[in-house]
Amino acid sequence: MNVHRLSKVALQKILSGKVTEPVTCIVKFYSNTCPLCKNLKSEFEEIAEDYEDLHFFAFNIDDYPKVEKVLSFNGVPTISLMKVGRRNPKIRILADPDPPHDDTWYHREDIKQFIDKEKG
């Protein structure tokens, strides 16, 4: 499965509960100026290939800087899982790793464990 870029309009539609199809989305929040985000890109794309039943997206926070406050996270990269298709989407944010990976911030296994636990 490919990772698609998510627009501000599409993200706001998800967050407002206006998506009626029940789907689970994994969203990587990033910035073009973040070296960790750039390094995580191929890893995130490889993880997406393991999950045919989920939709993977990347969202550039420069398109909607308030998203960090709206979703209560601080900094990028950040990974979230969103279950949509209901009035109030269920949104989970992957906790910061301890310790973080030097090149990508998140460890591959941390991302996969988060997805497996939360998609249930």
For residue range 12-63, what is the model confidence (pLDDT) as tens digits?
Answer: 999 999 999 999 999 999 999 999 999 999 999 999 999 999 999 999 999 9
Task: State mean pLDDT over 103-108.
Answer: 98
Backbone angles phi, psi at 109, to 5 degrees: -65, -35
Six-digit token string for 41: 């890109």
Task: State mean pLDDT over 91-116.
Answer: 97
Measured between alpha carbons, how far is 34 from 15 in angstroms, rounded to an integer?
24
pLDDT, position 1: 64
Six-digit token string for 110: 């941390």
Give the chain's domains with CATH numbers.
3-119 (3.40.30.10)
Task: State mean pLDDT over 104-109.
Answer: 98
Measured between alpha carbons, how far is 19 from 4 in angstroms, rounded to an integer?
17
